[in-house]
Structure formats: C-alpha cells, structure tokens
Amino acid sequence: AQSVTQPDIHITVSEGASLELRCNYSYGATPYLFWYVQSPGQGLQLLLKYFSGDTLVQGIKGFEAEFKRSQSSFNLRKPSVHWSDAAEYFCAVGAGSNTGKLIFGQGTTLQVKP
C-alpha cells in the first residue's frame, strides 16, 4: 500500500536560513507527489507537484522539490526562509493511477526564529 513518511515532526530555522523538509514515499510505480502548506487557520494550499518529466520542480513562494526515485524521496527546499513561511507542511502521494485521492504524511511544523 502507498504510504508517506515525514521524519521530522517539528523543525525550527532562523529567518534567512535555508530549509529542507524531508519526505519519503512507498509506491510501486511512478508516483504522483505533492507538497501542501497549511498556515494557522487556513486551508491547505498546494505548493508544487510532480508527476513526470524534470525531477526538480518549482513551486510557489520560492519553494522547490526534487524527486529522487533511487531514494524514494521528494524533499522540499527553500534557499531563504521568511517569517511568513511558519506553517505546517504536508507531503502527499497519489493513491493510484485510477483515482485522485491522496495519501498524506503526518506533516512537519515549521517554526521560524527572527
């Protein structure tokens, strides 16, 4: 069965520092992969997604993610974090080629220090 693991429950970085959030997935075929962000009191918003082609994907708000099949990973990165990036981040994998439902990781809470 498909699954997603986000090893870091909570991460704190200083404003202006670089960020990497880890995501590992389990899926038998080429996965559809997504990163969503949930700010306090807000709904989930898509940051970026991968389903084919270039393994380095650019998203909104300066985020990018790299699909590495050999490591079953889809880590999210940002070169310089802003205080407004403090939120909860969810990695997700599509549950199969014949469905749009998503399997989410447990989420990583990002705290940004001034």
Partner 1 sequence: GAGVSQSPSNKVTEKGKDVELRCDPISGHTALYWYRQSLGQGLEFLIYFQGNSAPDKSGLPSDRFSAERTGGSVSTLTIQRTQQEDSAVYLCASSPGLVNTDTQYFGPGTRLTVL
- Which residues bind to partner 1, rule: CB under 8 A? 32, 36, 41-46, 49, 51, 90, 92, 94-107
**Would you say 15 or 44 has its CB closer to partner 1?**
44
Residue 63 or 90: the one with the smaller Cβ distance to partner 1 is 90
CB of 92 to partner 1, least distance (A): 8
Cβ proximity to partner 1, 12 vs 39, nearer residue: 39
Give least dist CB 16 to partner 1, A.
30
List of long-range contacts for 70-75, beta carbons under 8 Å, 24+ apart: 71/24, 72/24, 72/25, 72/26, 72/27, 73/22, 73/23, 73/24, 73/25, 74/23, 74/24, 74/25, 74/31, 74/33, 74/35, 74/50, 75/20, 75/21, 75/22, 75/23
